[in-house]
Amino acid sequence: MEFSLSVSDNAGRAVVSVGGELDVYTAPELEERLAALIEEGRVAIIVDLTDVSFMDSTGLGLLIKVLKWTREKGGSLDVVANSEKTLKVFRITGLDGVISLHSSVDEALGA
């Protein structure tokens, strides 16, 4: 599955949907998109990883960076992930206790 990115608005929050493999090669594209959103003042962000088939530590590192950026601007970062493969990467690194994880965009919107 090719890497894909799309941004939509939902209840005042920017929902960034990611598909394909999020790794050392593709993470810079996501970083650029997220940085642009924050630059525009859209600091309440949901990153939807539902369609991500593979994620490595570069993806995790980016999410941590974005968490910091949004907090500095008084915003928030919520992440949607429901595949066992993706969740395992969060669990192994202990970042499931740092990043707000949700099983659906609806759940994240309620957070």
Q: Considering the rule CB under 8 A, would residue 76 count as an interface residue with other proteins?
A: no
Q: Considering the rule CB under 8 A, would residue 92 count as an interface residue with other proteins?
A: yes
Tokens coding 19: 């598909």
Q: Considering the rule CB under 8 A, would residue 96 count as an interface residue with other proteins?
A: no
Residue 34 CA to residue 40 CA, distance in Å, equals 10
> Closest separation between CB of residue 64 and other proteins, Å?
8
Q: What residues are paired with 76 via a beta bridge?
A: 44
Binding residue for other proteins, selected from 29, 33, 54, 109, defined by CB under 8 A: 54
Q: Considering the rule CB under 8 A, would residue 11 count as an interface residue with other proteins?
A: no
Binding residue for other proteins, selected from 38, 60, 79, 105, defined by CB under 8 A: 60
DSSP secondary structure, 32-69, as one string: HHHHHHHHTT--EEEEEEEEEEEE-HHHHHHHHHHHHH
What are residue 86's phi and psi, to 5 degrees? -70, -45
Contacts with other proteins, residue ranges (CB under 8 A): 21, 23-25, 54, 56-58, 60-61, 85, 89, 92-93
